Structure 1
Amino acid sequence: MDWTKKFQFLIGGYGSSKSYHVALKLVLKCLQEKRKVLVIREVYDTHKDSTFALFKDILESLDRLDDTGRKRIAKGKARAKESPYEIVFSNGSRIIFKGMDKPAKLKSIHDISIIWVEEASEVKYEGFKELVGRLRHRNLSLHMILSSNPVDETNWIYTHFFVDEENEKTTLNDEELYKLREIKTETTYYHHSKADDNMFLPQSYIDELDDMKNYDPDLHRVAREGKFGANGEKILPQLEVWDSADVQAQLTSDKVYKNGMDFGFSDSYNAIVRMAVDIEEKWLYIFWEYYTKGKTDPEIAEDMMKAGLQKVMIKGDNAEAKTIVYLQQRGFRILPCYKLTRVENTKKMKRFKKIIVSKDCPNTIRELKNLTQKKDKNGKAIPGEFNIDPHTFSAMWYGLDDYEVTNVKGMNAGYRGR
């Protein structure tokens, strides 16, 4: 019943009744006062068997559903309409349903005082910001409710409402929410829930969630514990993060040193990673990174000079021949990489027994720690595709393109020194 904050963010595991709670909350609000509520999902057609059906069930259970077909809606009740989906109350309140897959239809909606974004993680960040701008009413208080299962930490709902490592911004520590279960900030009411909070769930359902720990610990964390993190098999489960001093202590002359560079500009990043390979242990150390976007080739060259990269051998993306030639003209020892596929490069990285990243490389850590394979609409993994565009991972590929993890002779032992 709390309506004190503009934003309400509900996150939790499977079966924790987040959606039911929000729908009931909105029904009660619409019965109490005249409101126009916008309910959003990424795909409009998914409303039919989810949010729209849920509202109908709740109204029916409260004996507030008018399905008589008469012209006038009975006092204190509501009528559910289809084509388009809409729920109209006797006091003039309306709940309308839209999808972000048809954004043009949002522009004609006015006087929205409450928005519910269901499965918020599926909506794009630009869409969320557009919806905030749609909250407009002359007199009524404005509210946006977002509900979602937790996803990986690269999703916008995590970086916006919790921790944005890339921009070094922390809005709220999610671990604190898991402990306290509900927190109010200046603008947002946060709520965390688990299956245990739903008293109507059968024990057999909870037992199924508990059993996930034995065969899919990542999904168990999301579904049972309601916590953010990689959902799916991690690309680099052998990843470790070490203190800078501990990594520096391993950078001895018996290591093989490699440097890779990925190119970007306005939307994607330029990334350089410096690596050291322990041939005997098959351990890969990442001890230095460069990570930026929006810079021209001359600006990047200046940054590279300041970092003392003129003397080291660098392998770059072979698709950027023009940039590579420019950097060569500026005196850098940079060559195009071989044309290995994304799948081949990923398999190579997985053959390292350990991949150790220095804490001096926060962007590499951020991109690699929750890196998982992208899935198609049927839930099948797409080889060579990931949940994010990992620029540092690409730079690793290029730098190691002439290194074969299973081979400890020949070219692998040829280049030493940093």
Structure 2
Amino acid sequence: MSKEISLQQKIGKGYVDFWRFRGRYRVVKGGRGSKKSVTAAMWYIKNMMKFPLANTLVLRKTFNTHKDSTWAQLKWAANQLGVAHLWQFKKSPLEAIYKPTGQKILFRGLDDPMSITSITVDTGYLCWAWFEEAYQILNEDDFDKVDMSIRGELPEGYFKQLTLTFNPWNEKHWLKKRFFDVKDDPNILALTTTYKLNEFLGDDDRKLFEWMKENKPKRYKVEGNGEWGIAEGAIYENWREEDFNWKAIARQPGYKAIFGLDFGYTNDPTAFVAALVNKEEKKLYIFDENYEHGMLNDDIAKMIKRKGYAKERIIADSAEPKSIAEIRGYGIGRIREAEKGPDSVKAGIQYLQQYEIIVHKHNCPNVSIELSSYVWDQNKAGKFLNRPIDEFNHALDGLRYAMEQIRKPSSISFD
């Protein structure tokens, strides 16, 4: 026996354009409680059933975050729409199957690129992709690879579409320039949503936002109004971008060149930073960077040589002594490991906070993104903890390593 469900009652108002849009890119930034993720989940459940040849790919930065977020949201959406009996939500492998047709919702992480490029579907076509928490994707190339995988001719009436949902972390992110600064592109729907669109919030939720508006206006701007910016808790606040001549600054008295390296590979980038520091004036000019995934140790050595820093003192992540030894063997003779210990992170951050940080406007875009996004961690109640988040910290970790020779000059030897 069939039962009619009112979509408007289930979804509410404020998302008509989102629901009807059929262009290539559907991008939604929003504050907390703005319904963006749950609305997306309902759209996919509803439209997979409407288009019997369509399959969906759901992506997050890391695969293991899906089960408690997107997978759970889609399962909830199927229940809300009264069609849970028609869907099978499997945990191993993590996927959702529409039983009448065999269509699938597939879940992948950008931490395993091969699992994305090799995707095939048993029934129909891969039509749609949903990037949840898209602000976590620092590397635009990772998005482009998925974009290119949604290709090929589709039957009449079908369409290819990528949906991105995220909190507006900072205006330096590539998402803003690519989707929100573009005018009159019929292939892009860029929306900003807020809690005011969510009629399902309780009075206590709304009072919390009103309190935030009155007492935490900076936080309200982002979490309430969905505007670009850091809500609260930025670790480094005394920084700016400039277009400076670093060679001229290097000739000034009191400045010393420092270099740092943080290792990564698949999940995280290898980040190299070059800076000029004046200990007396407490000034730090960051003038060069390299920010790249998939670098082997010989690639790192070649990059350092290409940039002309092969003979410089470079302080690298101490977690990989074998990599440091290999890079030294490739001709980077003055590379050494950073100090170890849990307090070294806190001490390094506290020391850097004493400095005025100037970032080269054109040479160091990833350093700027990290400085804009690196914040103190919070507990479930929203209280800040005395530790940073483990995100947006790769170039900044490299900078922290590089500053050890200034903070503790006697602890580092380059003999």
TM-score by length of 1: 0.62
2:278 match: 277
> Structure 1: 5+ residue runs without aligned partners?
57-78, 164-169, 178-182, 413-418
Instruction: Measure, in 2, the Cα distance between the counterparts of 1:252 and 1:138.
Output: 66
Equivalent residue runs for 1:110-149 within 5 Å: 110-111=123-124, 115=128, 117=130, 119=132, 121=134, 129=146, 133=150, 137-144=154-161, 146=163, 148-149=165-166
Tell me the amino acid that sits aligned with residue 399 of structure 1. A
Instruction: Measure, in 2, the Cα distance between the counterparts of 1:96 and 1:333.
Output: 56
- Among candidates 99, 103, 107, match of residue 100 of structure 1: 107
2:9 match: none
> Structure 2: 5+ residue runs without aligned partners?
1-15, 59-65, 90-95, 110-114
1:287 match: 287
Q: Could you list the per-position Cα deviations for residues 335-371 of structure 1 after superposition, in whole angstroms to 9, with x for gaps in the alignment?
A: 4134233651343233332333232433322333212
Find the structure with the greater CA-based Rg.
Answer: 1
Distance 1:28 1:356, change over 3 A: closer
1:81 paired with 2:85, answer yes
Q: Could you list the per-position Cα deviations for residues 62-92 of structure 1 after superposition, in whole angstroms to 9, with x for gaps in the alignment?
A: xxxxxxxxxxxxxxxxx55166269999xx9
1:10–1:18 contact (8 Å) kept in structure 2: yes
Equivalent residue runs for 1:212-227 within 5 Å: 212-213=212-213, 219-227=219-227
1:238 match: 238
Give the total of aligned pairs.
Answer: 359
Give, in angstroms, the shift of residue 46 of structure 1.
0.8
1:244–1:358 contact (8 Å) kept in structure 2: yes
1:111–1:136 contact (8 Å) kept in structure 2: no
Give, in angstroms, the shift of residue 225 of structure 1.
1.8
1:268 paired with 2:269, answer yes
Instruction: Measure, in 1, the Cα distance between the counterparts of 2:154 and 2:230.
Output: 39
Instruction: Measure, in 1, the Cα distance between the counterparts of 2:41 and 2:405.
Output: 57
1:63 match: none
2:48–2:103 contact (8 Å) kept in structure 1: no
1:5 match: 23
| SS, match of residue 407 in structure 2 | coil
Tell me the amino acid that sits aligned with residue 88 of structure 2. P
Tell me the amino acid that sits aligned with residue 111 of structure 1. G
Tell me the amino acid that sits aligned with residue 81 of structure 2. F
- Among candidates 360, 371, 395, match of residue 358 of structure 1: 360
Tell me the amino acid that sits aligned with residue 243 of structure 1. D
Equivalent residue runs for 1:45-84 within 5 Å: 46-47=72-73, 50-56=76-82, 80-81=84-85, 84=88
TM-score by length of 2: 0.63
Distance 1:322 1:210, change over 3 A: same
Give, in angstroms, the shift of residue 263 of structure 1.
5.3
2:29–2:167 contact (8 Å) kept in structure 1: yes
| SS, match of residue 81 in structure 2 | helix
Tell me the amino acid that sits aligned with residue 387 of structure 1. E
Give, in angstroms, the shift of residue 310 of structure 1.
6.1
* Superposed CA RMSD: 5.2
Q: Could you list the per-position Cα deviations for residues 304-336 of structure 1 after superposition, in whole angstroms to 9, with x for gaps in the alignment?
A: 566554665443445234245336xx5x66141
Give, in angstroms, the shift of residue 376 of structure 1.
9.2
1:120–1:146 contact (8 Å) kept in structure 2: no
Distance 1:403 1:24, change over 3 A: closer
Distance 1:15 1:188, change over 3 A: same
Give, in angstroms, the shift of residue 296 of structure 1.
7.3
1:187 paired with 2:187, answer yes
1:16 paired with 2:15, answer no
Instruction: Measure, in 2, the Cα distance between the counterparts of 1:45 and 1:305.
Output: 45
1:394 match: 397
Alignment identity in percent?
A: 15
